[in-house]
Every structure is written in structure tokens, then in C-alpha cells.
């Protein structure tokens, strides 16, 4: 494999939530465009509550990783020195393996949780639209989606998997014992909040209210779970009425502050109040935990709940790891084929195979009495025709390589035109390319490698 794929990142294992929130990326498209200069030719960034992953394809320069770290720190207005002890840098096969493990949810805090795949598809969609995902990242991400599908269909790693939202509600149950008769507020109305609402109702919560900056979305979520929507500006007026707050907004700074919570707790006559903050950056000021009768838990406090669930599926994770290793080898083979010489060899071999198939059909039609001299003449004819047919594509590739250096784009196109990798592509695989602005994560073209 060429030494030009790098994956630089940090996650819940290498950095606490206080570090993750400082280096969370908010505008992925702008960041990816910032990256694609100098030694970086392609880029994709993923930023979630538990990880930041930055995938690049470089020209092989050793300065590529430093370029990424400096851009990352600049985008977050933080020093590079703050990243050094918390980041990992994977190259080539290690980078591919790490990406496949992320896509397959083998690297998640909650093993087997399904949200990470949707988040990765969304990150890929943004990279495609920003023009920073090209030949290698396109192929690598489609392969990652394929690996994730194999893991889900061929192993039990996703069975009984939980989500961060489930873990948050499980933590609430540990705190209260039973949730019947309790009232909860969800701050934020995204997927995390939706899952939390579902699990809260399942646990017997009495009532849910939803606060969100987009009130229509709060109304929609509240209606689905027979709750109450409240304007974001009225959040503090409703807090005294709830026992549990689960917050999961995408706000860059805290939305609940310790100074304001003093009055809220006073109105509750100092009855206990529990906050579970699963957002990164955190939504709730850590100083809230210093107030009497206020108990604050962040996403890192969910690890104990997650470990209980993880123990049930370790064997399945081993099977999934085997799939990852198989697919890393397959991807390495494809990447190696982007070199000019292997593609020329594959072109000629493909032509010779077709020529031999046609020759055998012709010989069967002519019958068993074909003279040996005629058989040899036919063989020379078909082989010569195959070589001549592929002569112009080979000359074209060599010329582009001489004129432009690495000819990956042209090699890639030739391999697809002649289907040298023998892929099976559905007829509707590229329909979505006509409507790029309306793509959802699940609609990204699935011309996946087999």
C-alpha cells in the first residue's frame, strides 16, 4: 500500500470530555477545504460526541500530519500542544483498519451502536459536496460502509446493542431506582433526544417536555411522545418542574449555567435534581455539580453502564475484527492496482481471457476436425486483436502519467470502464448523483466493492 493515507484523531479513550469539547469541529466543510492544500490531496473529517477523526490522502510528504494538527488546532482556536498527548496518527493499513472499525462500531464507547455509521455517512456526504473526497476516499468510504454491513449481517455484534441515550436512561434508573412518577426534560431534539425519549417512556417516566432552539422540531418530537414542547427561552421557567434533565444539543457553549440554577433549585425547595449531559461540547456548566441537591453526569460517566453491555458481545467483536482484517487486505490490493503497471497487466490479462473464451466458442462450433495449424492461427488472431484493442488505452495512460505524474484518476477510470476489479454495480447505483443537494446519509451512492 502506498504511504499516503493518514488518519489523525482522538476519541473517548484518549481524551476526556474536557479535551474533546475543546477540539470538536463545528464546520466540517470549511475545515476540509482548509486541509486540502500543500501535501494534502483529499480529506474527510468526522466529529461526534466521542471522537474526531480526520482522514487524509497526502502526496507522501512527512509534513502532512503536522499540517493536519495545525489546521485542527487553528479551526478550534486552541493550541497544537493541547492535542499532542491525546491524538493518534495511523498510516496506510492501520488507518484503513481504524476507519473500518469505526464504521463497524467496534471502536465506539457503546460496542455495536448504530449511530456512528449514520454519522460517518453524513460526514462523507459533506466531504463529497465540498469536493475534498476524491478517488481514494470515495473508494475507502464505500468500502467502510460495506464492511459495516458485513459486520452487522455476519456477526451478532449489534444484537442487544445500546445507544448513548439508552445508557443515559439506564444511569437515571440506577440513580432513582424507578422512574415512574418522575418528570423529565430533554434539551435538544436530535436523534439522541429522540432515543432518550423512547427509552424514558419505556422506563415509565410520567411526563417529558422538550426544549429546542427550533421550536417546530421540539413540537414534533414532543407530539410523537405525548409530551410538551417549550420555547428555548422559557427553559429556566420549566426546570423547577422536572426531576431529570438529559441534554444533547449541538451548542458550542453551555446552555445551563450554575449561576442560574441556584434560583431553580430554590423554587424546587431543594428537592434533588439530576442532569445527564451527553453533548460534546458540554451543554451544562460543570459547576452545576457543586450546587447542593444538583447531581451532574457527563458522557464519560456512562462508561460503567456501557461496560456491562459490552461484556455480552466480546466474542462477536472478535469475529467482526476478522472481517475488518480481510477487507483491509482487499482494499490494499485495490490501492496497489492504482499504480500504472498493475493496471496495464490487468488490461492485457482481461483481453486475453476474453480472447480465449471467444476462441473456445469458435472451436466448438467448427467441430473436432479443425486442423492444428488452423487452431494456432485462430489463437494468434484473437490474442493479437485483444492486444491491439487495448493498445490505445495503455498508450493514453502512459502519456497522462508522463505529463501529470501520478495518474490515479485516469487509472481509476480505466479500471471502472473495463471493470478490471469485476465489481457488480446495481443499475440504480448512481441515481443520487443527479440530486446531490437532497442526499441523506443512507442515500449516498452505493457502488460498493464486493
How does pLDDT run across 273-323, given as a tens digit for each residue?
A: 999 998 999 999 999 999 998 999 998 888 777 777 676 677 888 899 999
The share of the chain scoring above pLDDT 90, in percent, equals 50
Nearest alpha carbon to residue 171 among 200, 193, 135: 200
Does the pLDDT at position 69 exceed 50? yes
Indicate the helix (H) or strand (E) that contains 208. Answer: strand 207-212
CA 114 to each of CA 87, 110, 415, 448: distance values in angstroms, whole numbers, following the listed order: 24, 9, 33, 19
Does the pLDDT at position 59 exceed 70? yes
Instruction: Locate the DSSP E strands across 104-252.
Output: 183-187, 207-212, 228-231, 244-247
The share of the chain scoring above pLDDT 70, in percent, equals 90
User: Is 49 considered catalytic here?
Assistant: yes
**Residue 315 to residue 317: CA distance in whole angstroms:** 5
**What is the model's pLDDT at position 440?**
40
Q: Judge contact between 254 and 283, C-beta under 8 A.
A: yes
Question: Is the Cα torsion angle 261, 267, 270, 275 positive or negative in sign?
Answer: negative
Identify the band that residue 441 occupies on the pLDDT scale cut at 50, 70 and 90.
very low
Q: Residue 133 carries which DSSP code?
A: -
Q: Tens digits of per-residue pLDDT, 20-34?
A: 999 999 899 999 999
Q: Which residue out of 49, 76, 209, 445 is catalytically annotated? A: 49
Q: Chain-wide mean pLDDT for the chain?
A: 86
Identify the band that residue 443 occupies on the pLDDT scale cut at 50, 70 and 90.
very low
Q: Tens digits of per-residue pLDDT, 173-197?
A: 877 778 888 999 999 998 888 888 9
Does the pLDDT at position 432 exceed 80? no
Identify the band that residue 413 occupies on the pLDDT scale cut at 50, 70 and 90.
confident
Give helix then strand counts, H and E, for the chain: 17, 10
**What average pLDDT does this structure show over 126-137?**
90
Task: Name the residue with higher pLDDT: 437 or 33.
Answer: 33
Amino acid at each position: 500500500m502506498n504511504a499516503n493515507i493518514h488518519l489523525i484523531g482522538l476519541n473517548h479513550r484518549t481524551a476526556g470530555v474536557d479535551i474533546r469539547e475543546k477540539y470538536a469541529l463545528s464546520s466540517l466543510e470549511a475545515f476540509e477545504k482548509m486541509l486540502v492544500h500543500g501535501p494534502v490531496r483529499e480529506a474527510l473529517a468526522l466529529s461526534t460526541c466521542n471522537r474526531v477523526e480526520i482522514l487524509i490522502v497526502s502526496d507522501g510528504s512527512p509534513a502532512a500530519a503536522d499540517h493536519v494538527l495545525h489546521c485542527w488546532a487553528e479551526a478550534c482556536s486552541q493550541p497544537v500542544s493541547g492535542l499532542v498527548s491525546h491524538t493518534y496518527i495511523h498510516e496506510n493499513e492501520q488507518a484503513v483498519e481504524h476507519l473500518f472499525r469505526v464504521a463497524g462500531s467496534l471502536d465506539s464507547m457503546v460496542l455495536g451502536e448504530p449511530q456512528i455509521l449514520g454519522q460517518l455517512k453524513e460526514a462523507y456526504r459533506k466531504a463529497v459536496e465540498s469536493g475534498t473526497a476524491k478517488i481514494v476516499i470515495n473508494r475507502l468510504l464505500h468500502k467502510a460502509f460495506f464492511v459495516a454491513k458485513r459486520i452487522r449481517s455476519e456477526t451478532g455484534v449489534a444484537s442487544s446493542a445500546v445507544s448513548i441515550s439508552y445508557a443515559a436512561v439506564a444511569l437515571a434508573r440506577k440513580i432513582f431506582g424507578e422512574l415512574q412518577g418522575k418528570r423529565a426534560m430533554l434539551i435538544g431534539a436530535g436523534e439522541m433526544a429522540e432515543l432518550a425519549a423512547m427509552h424514558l417512556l419505556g422506563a415509565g417516566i410520567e411526563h417529558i417536555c422538550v426544549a429546542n432552539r427550533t421550536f417546530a422540531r421540539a413540537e414534533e418530537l414532543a407530539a410523537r411522545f405525548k409530551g410538551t414542547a417549550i420555547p428555548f427561552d422559557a427553559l429556566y421557567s420549566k426546570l423547577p418542574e422536572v426531576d431529570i434533565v438529559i441534554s444533547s444539543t449541538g451548542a458550542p457553549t453551555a446552555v445551563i449555567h450554575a449561576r442560574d440554577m441556584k434560583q431553580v433549585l430554590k423554587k424546587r425547595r431543594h428537592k434533588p435534581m439530576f442532569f445527564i449531559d451527553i453533548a460534546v461540547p458540554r451543554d451544562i456548566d460543570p459547576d452545576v455539580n457543586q450546587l447542593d441537591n444538583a447531581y451532574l453526569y457527563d458522557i464519560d460517566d456512562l462508561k460503567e453502564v456501557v461496560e456491562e453491555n459490552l461484556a455480552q458481545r466480546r466474542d462477536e467483536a472478535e469475529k467482526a475484527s476478522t472481517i475488518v482484517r480481510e477487507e483491509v487486505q482487499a482494499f490494499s490490493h485495490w490501492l496497489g492496482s492504482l499504480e500504472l503497471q498493475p493496471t496495464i497487466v490487468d488490461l492485457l490479462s482481461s483481453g486475453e481471457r476474453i480472447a480465449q473464451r471467444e476462441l473456445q466458442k469458435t472451436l466448438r462450433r467448427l467441430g473436432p476436425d479443425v486442423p492444428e495449424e488452423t487452431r494456432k492461427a485462430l489463437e494468434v488472431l484473437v490474442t493479437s486483436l485483444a492486444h491491439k484493442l487495448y493498445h490505445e488505452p495503455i498508450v493514453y495512460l502512459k502519456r497522462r502519467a508522463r505529463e501529470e505524474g501520478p495518474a490515479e484518476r485516469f487509472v481509476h477510470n480505466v479500471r471502472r470502464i473495463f471493470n478490471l476489479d469485476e465489481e457488480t454495480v446495481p443499475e440504480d447505483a448512481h441515481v443520487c448523483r443527479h440530486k446531490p443537494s437532497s442526499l441523506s446519509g443512507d442515500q449516498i451512492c452505493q457502488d460498493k466493492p464486493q
